[in-house]
Chains A and B, each alone.
Chain A
Amino acid sequence: MALNDHDQTRIREYLLGHLSDEELEKIEERLMTEDDLFEELEISKSELIEEYCAGELSQNEHEWFEQHYLASAEGKRTHAVAVALNAVKCPIPTPRKLTWIERLRNFLNANRWAMAAATSTAVVIIVAAVIVFGPRPSTSSYAFTLNSTLSQRSPGEVRYFKVPLNPDLGELRVTLQIPERATRGTNYRVELDDRGETRSFKPASHDENSVVVVIPASAVRENLYALRLYAIKSDGTEQAIPGDYLFELVNPARMPSTPK
């Protein structure tokens, strides 16, 4: 039986504890016999976990979902995968910037024993804390993974990975997947090409299959970019890894909205 919007709503209500006992039995009987409805249940579970993680559920719904589906072994597994998926693919959340006084207060709260030791030491700590924990620009990091155009299925089709250029963007943390048959290096160099000039970056880390490069937001603007990867061999020579890694920085406000 084909699903309709009412069924989708019903399944959400089922998972959020909004159904009476009678309604619950009816929907569960249908879940036992209708493939589409059971599929909808699986989809809704994932979507509700997303909403749960994003704090988009009401207080009652949040608690119900937590004490029911998320209490099950399956719910815990799905929740853990959703958290991992967000941790890898979503912007890394950064805590609200603290003023230097807050930083200093936190520091001292965590180190009360140091206060008791000697006033002179405390003065040194306070001075050091002001220097170390002084205000820094508010930044956020945007992490994403790119594959070489070499490993794309349709080489004719050039696709730029769209990255929102948010005003508080501090850095781009890009993971470049090394194509399977490409030469591995003992180290790597990454070149950023904005179709006008190229700049080199030293990777933050690398392993057998990927290279992570951190690009400060100050080095980029709304534009199309290509990253190129060079393997540095043990004798110091460089070999270009074929293919480009393409991305586009887009002002979120200017991202095209979908026609209705």
Chain B
Amino acid sequence: MPKGGPTQENWDRLLLWLDADRDQAGERYEKIRRRLIGIFSSRGCCDADDLADRSINVVLSKVEWLLPNYVGDPALYFYAVAKKIYLEDLKKKPPPKVPLPDTAPPEVEQLSDCLDDCLDELPAGERDLIVRYHQFEKQEKIQNRKRLADELQLSRNALRIKVCHIHSRLKRCIELRLGEKTVG
């Protein structure tokens, strides 16, 4: 890759490689980046975002060749590069000693405040669903979720997906609010 980072020309080529439609290509790019972060996070990388960006930069440096020559799903090429970046990173620095996640970090109170605000922003039905979904423990929790799925006439998997989508929105809302609090 030329010094000074990826050029606009290479970005354009990359988007073209992902999809002929620029909007679709943009979405595809975001999706690939999100998945690389998801994979690096699953492997326990502290700096998953950075590793994903480094992988993308390597792909950008090769895109001129890739565009006319590569056959196959571009996402898999990104993944092949990401594996190499991961191994290089592992060689460079030994995995850090991981402090045990604190079950009651001091920020929990702040998080709880944000969570309350974000729950308030949800439509009543979704708020009720999330509150009920997280009740009980062990066997009771399983029974409770079965009941909820039945009440909502959803399969248990559809309920999990629905809750996952609400969780994602809650997480985004909380991150936004925490950011506002840090700035303010």
Q: Which residues of A contact B (CB under 8 A)?
A: 3, 14-15, 25, 28-29, 31-33, 38-39, 41-43, 45-47, 53-54, 56, 66-81, 83-90, 144-145, 147, 151-153, 159, 161-162, 164, 177, 209, 252, 255-259
Interface presence of B124 (CB below 8 A): yes
Interface presence of B38 (CB below 8 A): yes
How far is A39 from B104 in the complex, measured between Cα atoms in Å? 28
Known contacts A29-B76, A32-B35, A81-B174; decide if A69 and B127 are in contact (CB<8 Å). no
Q: Residues of A contacting B128 with CB < 8 Å?
A: 147, 159, 161
B15-69 residues at the A interface, CB under 8 angstroms: 32, 35-49
Known contacts A39-B164, A80-B108; decide if A74 and B37 are in contact (CB<8 Å). yes
Q: Residues of A contacting B184 with CB < 8 Å?
A: none
Interface pair B150/A71, CB less than 8 Å apart:
no
How far is A182 from B150 in the complex, measured between Cα atoms in Å? 35
- Which of B38, B48, B76, B79 is close to A41, meaning CB atoms less than 8 Å apart? B38
Interface pair A67/B75, CB less than 8 Å apart:
no
Interface presence of B9 (CB below 8 A): no
Interface presence of B146 (CB below 8 A): yes
Interface pair A85/B134, CB less than 8 Å apart:
yes
Q: Interface readout for B135-148 with A: 1 if CB under 8 Å, 0 if not?
A: 11110100110110
Q: Residues of A contacting B167 with CB < 8 Å?
A: 46, 81
How far is A54 from B32 in the complex, measured between Cα atoms in Å? 33
Known contacts A43-B164, A85-B115, A258-B147; decide if A79 and B101 are in contact (CB<8 Å). yes
Q: Residues of B contacting A28 with CB < 8 Å?
A: 39, 79
Can you list 7 A-B contacts (CB < 8 A)?
A46-B167, A56-B138, A79-B101, A83-B111, A88-B115, A153-B125, A258-B150
Known contacts A69-B42, A72-B40; decide if A39 and B115 are in contact (CB<8 Å). no
Interface pair A54/B137, CB less than 8 Å apart:
yes
What is the total number of residues of chain B having a CB less than 8 Å from a CB of chain A? 69
Known contacts A32-B32, A38-B38, A147-B124; decide if A88 and B44 are in contact (CB<8 Å). no
Q: Residues of B contacting A31 with CB < 8 Å?
A: 35, 38-39
How far is A150 from B83 in the complex, measured between Cα atoms in Å? 54
Which A residue's beta carbon lies closest to that of B37? A74
How far is A144 from B119 in the complex, measured between Cα atoms in Å? 13
Q: Residues of B contacting A83 with CB < 8 Å?
A: 103-105, 108, 111
Interface pair A84/B108, CB less than 8 Å apart:
yes
Interface pair B123/A153, CB less than 8 Å apart:
yes
How far is A25 from B84 in the complex, measured between Cα atoms in Å? 12
Interface pair B39/A46, CB less than 8 Å apart:
no
B129-179 residues at the A interface, CB under 8 angstroms: 130-132, 134-138, 140, 143-144, 146-147, 149-150, 157, 160-161, 164, 167-168, 170-171, 174-175
Interface pair B131/A41, CB less than 8 Å apart:
no
How far is A89 from B111 in the complex, measured between Cα atoms in Å? 13
Interface pair A255/B32, CB less than 8 Å apart:
no
Q: Residues of B contacting A256 with CB < 8 Å?
A: 147
A75 CB to closest chain B CB, in angstroms? 6
- Which of A32, A47, A73, A88 is close to B46, meaning CB atoms less than 8 Å apart? A73
Interface pair B100/A88, CB less than 8 Å apart:
no
Q: Residues of A contacting B136 with CB < 8 Å?
A: 164
B61-116 residues at the A interface, CB under 8 angstroms: 73, 75-76, 78-79, 83, 95-96, 98, 100-101, 103-105, 107-108, 111-112, 114-116
Which A residue's beta carbon lies closest to that of B171? A81
How far is A42 from B125 in the complex, measured between Cα atoms in Å? 22
Q: Residues of B contacting A71 with CB < 8 Å?
A: 44, 46, 95-96, 98
Of residues A28, A32, A71, which shows the largest number of chain B Cβ atoms within 10 Å of its Cβ?
A32
Interface pair B175/A77, CB less than 8 Å apart:
yes
B9 CB to closest chain A CB, in angstroms? 26
Which A residue's beta carbon lies closest to that of B156? A258
Known contacts A43-B161, A68-B42; decide if A177 and B120 are in contact (CB<8 Å). yes
Interface pair A72/B45, CB less than 8 Å apart:
yes
Interface pair A42/B164, CB less than 8 Å apart:
yes
Interface pair B111/A81, CB less than 8 Å apart:
yes
Which A residue's beta carbon lies closest to that of B34? A38
